[in-house]
Amino acid sequence: MKFKKLMSMALVGVMTLATVAGCTSGQSSNKDTFKIGGIGPLTGPAAIYGTNVMNAAQIAVDEINAAGGINGYQIEFKAQDDTHDAEKAINAYNSLKDWGMQVLLGTVTTTPCVAVAEKTAEDGMFQITPSASSTDVIVNDNTFQVCFTDPNQGTASAQYIGMNEIATKVAIIYNSSDVYSSGIEATFEKEAANQGFEIVSIEAFTDDTATDFSTQLQKAQSAGADLVFLPIYYTPASIILKQANDIGYAPVFFGVDGMDGILTMDNFDTSLAEGVILLTPFAADADDEKTQKFVAEYQKRYGEIPNQFAADAYDGIYAIKEAMEKTGCTPDMSVKEIGEKIIPIMTQIKVDGITGEMTWNANGEVSKTPKAVIIKNGAYVAY
Amino acid sequence: MDFITHLINGISLGSVYAIIALGYTMVYGIAKMLNFAHGDVIMVGSYIIFLLMSNVGVPAIPAVIISIIVCTTLGIVIEKIAYKPLRRATSLAVLITAIGVSYFLQNSSLLLFGSDPKVFSSVVNLPSIKLANGMINISSTTIVTVVVCILIMIALTLFIKKTKAGQAMLAVSEDKDAASLMGINANATISLTFAIGSGLAAIAGALFCSAYPSLSPYTGAMPGIKAFTAAVFGGIGSIPGALLGGILLGVIEILGRAYISSQLSDAIVFAVLIIVLLVRPTGILGKKLHEKV
């Protein structure tokens, strides 16, 4: 008995030592690998975005590691779930910092991103969001975007509809309780004044009333709108498509990046989305070599066609690589040191990614050419 | 023409509120408690239909019937476990328990079904009706909702007036202790009320999710609150009041959204409630309260 007790004591001792040793070795591994964190909704109403972003980021990281890493150092990538919630995003940020994150790719959606951007600004951390598109995200100098800002999406959509003469009478249904949606709506409305179509109905809803759109659709139909602009996420959009079908209203539906993901929703009847046009910087059926390679790898690993969020995240990782290589960053540098080096260089680099050739201005906004896709037979086709 | 369409949409939404409000009002009338978990029973019922229809391939009507059975059982179990031990406790304690049950149902569903919204396939698959040369288009879900709501109202009224169990309910709602002395099993009557209320919740869930086909663990929360408002609006404890309150609430919400502001529709609904309660504190059809000394 006594021997057994002694043994167990010794075992406990060894295990404690092992934990301590584990800790120190964990910290020292910081010196030879870069640690990039990712935050986004991996569950919840915007989960499709988060999983696409994290999957694609992992592909980019693996590619870079296979090709010798950044400045000869390997990269580690770790993703955390924020369920599209600001409070959970802050928790995710803190736990990634404990892990040793040096640069942040994220967050994926706007509202949490605004909250996290405050934290990264305090810490001087370089942050690049693949897809949070509000201008509120980039108020601080340390934050950059891979996607278009909301104002640019609204303006670009209005120009696209005007230039291609898709419609003459346009209705808008937007979510007034969401900065993303109301931001795009405002610039769309402004730019529409310069275009050859007329806005005949502007209707809003809020997160609490995002189930019944019969009134908004009825008003759009009565106003004779032949196009309904939907600067909203795909979950309410899927209900709108169903309810429009129920009342026999069939205009052209035009969405922005929030519409991306509608085809991969569980149990969604994709025939309802037939003919929906959406503004996107990325078309998975593009025939350039880079896109094809990325799409093939994504399909091999995850069995799905990647959406533009995936493409933005993939390009985001390459933007981080480019900036780090230009400034000769090493993994032993602190969060602040890396931030101070690469934030100023961002306006000077040019990244030729799968979403186009990107440059950034000092505000953190990206510049690239918008494209649009139309949904045909349940897939995106270049418009 | 637009006005008529809006009105129809309002009645359709209001009918769902009315069915949910019936559950609130019956439980309040008999057990004198607000069952805030009622909205979440709707969500559970909808998930059951969703899983049966899309994962198992059960046709719509059997799926709804199974869902009603499961929800009825769930209602009785909730009552037995969470509320019955508190029969003699303060009403505040019961209220807090009800909120607890509500969160328990929401979080368990999060765990079981995940938080990503599911696209609910409608249980009503009939063609829509066109009137006035196609100017007015009424979806089959709308018609079924209104018809089901009216049928439920008639059935409930007959049940309460004509059956022994219904009379027992009336008696318990008047005075529980006196009813017990007369040989009515008050506990069984309360259980029956929960069973009926929860069965109605399953029907409401099927209709609500057919009209607004997005299902998440929080789906029941907002209609639950609105239906509670409808019950208070119509006079809590009164069955015709629940119907009237529900339909009025739905119509006000839709007309407010159509003619005043689509952003303020909820604010308008609750403003109307406040005004009604200022003028008639017991609701439109509510009984005047006699303070017992």
Domain that holds residue A352: 32-148+288-369
In a domain, A382, yes or no: no
Predicted local confidence at residue A103, as pLDDT: 94
Residue A29 pLDDT > 80: no
Residue A41 pLDDT > 80: yes
Residue A277 pLDDT > 90: yes
Predicted local confidence at residue A22, as pLDDT: 42
In a domain, A66, yes or no: yes
Which secondary structure element, helix H or strand E, spans residue A374, and what is its range? strand A371-376
Residues of chain B contacting A268 with CB distance shorter than 8 Å: 119
Region A108-124: what's the mean pLDDT? 92
Q: Please list, in sequence order, all residues whose beta carbon lies within 8 angstroms of the beta carbon of residue B275, skipping any fewer than 6 positions away.
A: none
Amino acid identity for residue B112 in this structure: L
A258 and A274 together in one domain: yes
Residues of chain B contacting A244 with CB distance shorter than 8 Å: none
Residue A28 pLDDT > 50: no
A125 and A163 together in one domain: no
Q: CB–CB of B287/B170 below 8 Å?
A: no
Shortest alpha-carbon distance between residue B33 and chain A (Å): 26
In a domain, A317, yes or no: yes
Q: Which of A96-110, A186-200, A336-350, B116-130 has the lowest mean pLDDT?
A: B116-130
Average pLDDT, chain A: 87
Predicted local confidence at residue B293, as pLDDT: 47
Residues of chain A contacting B5 with CB distance shorter than 8 Å: 218
Q: Do A215 and B9 touch (CB under 8 A)?
A: yes
C-alpha A140 chain-centroid distance: 18
Question: Which chain B residue's Cα is nearest to A50?
Answer: B116
Shortest alpha-carbon distance between residue B128 and chain A (Å): 7
Q: Do B9 and A211 touch (CB under 8 A)?
A: no
Predicted local confidence at residue A19, as pLDDT: 47
- pLDDT tier at B118, thresholds 50, 70, 90: confident
In a domain, A91, yes or no: yes
Predicted local confidence at residue A360, as pLDDT: 93
Q: Do A83 and B121 touch (CB under 8 A)?
A: no
Decide if B260 touches A, using CB distance below 8 A.
no
Tell me the CATH number at A337. Answer: 3.40.50.2300
In a domain, A271, yes or no: yes
- Between residues A190 and B134, the one the model is more confident about: A190
Predicted local confidence at residue A67, as pLDDT: 93
Predicted local confidence at residue A98, as pLDDT: 93
A232 and A292 together in one domain: no
Predicted local confidence at residue A6, as pLDDT: 53
Q: Do A238 and B222 touch (CB under 8 A)?
A: no
Q: Do A267 and B120 touch (CB under 8 A)?
A: yes
A140 and A195 together in one domain: no
Last residue of a domain, one of A280, A305, A327: A280
Shortest alpha-carbon distance between residue B123 and chain A (Å): 14
A133 and A80 together in one domain: yes
Rounded (10°) CA dihedral A175, A178, A184, A188: 40
In a domain, A304, yes or no: yes
Tokens of A266: 């569980």
Residue B40 pLDDT > 90: yes
Predicted local confidence at residue A10, as pLDDT: 55
Decide if B113 touches A, using CB distance below 8 A.
no
Q: What was the ipTM of the complex prediction? A: 0.76
Helix ranges (DSSP H) in chain B: 2-31, 38-50, 60-78, 91-113, 140-162, 164-174, 176-181, 186-211, 221-234, 239-255, 265-279
Tokens of A31: 């010196």
Question: Which chain B residue's Cα is nearest to A270?
Answer: B119
A204 and A294 together in one domain: no
Best CA proximity match to A229, nearest among A154, A164, A283, A281: A154
- pLDDT tier at B91, thresholds 50, 70, 90: confident
Residue B39 pLDDT > 50: yes
In a domain, A85, yes or no: yes
Q: Which of A231-235, A292-296, B205-209, B286-290 has the lowest mean pLDDT?
A: B286-290
A134 and A248 together in one domain: no
- pLDDT tier at A8, thresholds 50, 70, 90: low
Region B241-267: what's the mean pLDDT? 89
Residues of chain A contacting B222 with CB distance shorter than 8 Å: 208, 211
Predicted local confidence at residue A135, as pLDDT: 84
Amino acid identity for residue A365 in this structure: E
A187 and A261 together in one domain: yes
Last residue of a domain, one of A280, A306, A332: A280
Question: Which chain B residue's Cα is nearest to A209?
Answer: B266
Predicted local confidence at residue A27, as pLDDT: 42
In a domain, A135, yes or no: yes
Residue with tokens 């003619």: B259
A162 and A271 together in one domain: yes
Q: Do A215 and B257 touch (CB under 8 A)?
A: yes
Residue A26 pLDDT > 50: no
Residue B290 pLDDT > 80: no
A134 and A190 together in one domain: no
Q: Which of A162-176, A261-275, B125-139 has the lowest mean pLDDT?
A: B125-139
A100 and A74 together in one domain: yes
Residue A24 pLDDT > 50: no
Chain A residues interacting with chain B (CB cutoff of 8 angstroms): 43-45, 47-48, 83, 176, 203-206, 208-212, 214-216, 218-219, 222, 235-236, 238-239, 242-243, 246-248, 265-269
* Predicted confidence (pLDDT) per residue in A216-241, tens digit: 998 999 999 999 999 999 889 999 99
- pLDDT tier at A21, thresholds 50, 70, 90: very low
Domains of chain A: total: 2
Last residue of a domain, one of A280, A304, A330: A280
* Predicted confidence (pLDDT) per residue in A295-347, tens digit: 999 999 999 889 889 999 999 999 999 999 999 999 999 999 999 999 999 99
Region of A75 (left: φ > 0; alpha: ψ -120 to 50; beta: rest) is beta
Environment class of B243 (CB within 10 Å of its CB; exposed 0-12, middle 13-18, buried 19+):
buried
A88 and A185 together in one domain: no
Residues of chain B contacting A242 with CB distance shorter than 8 Å: 213
Tokens of A61: 């990281």
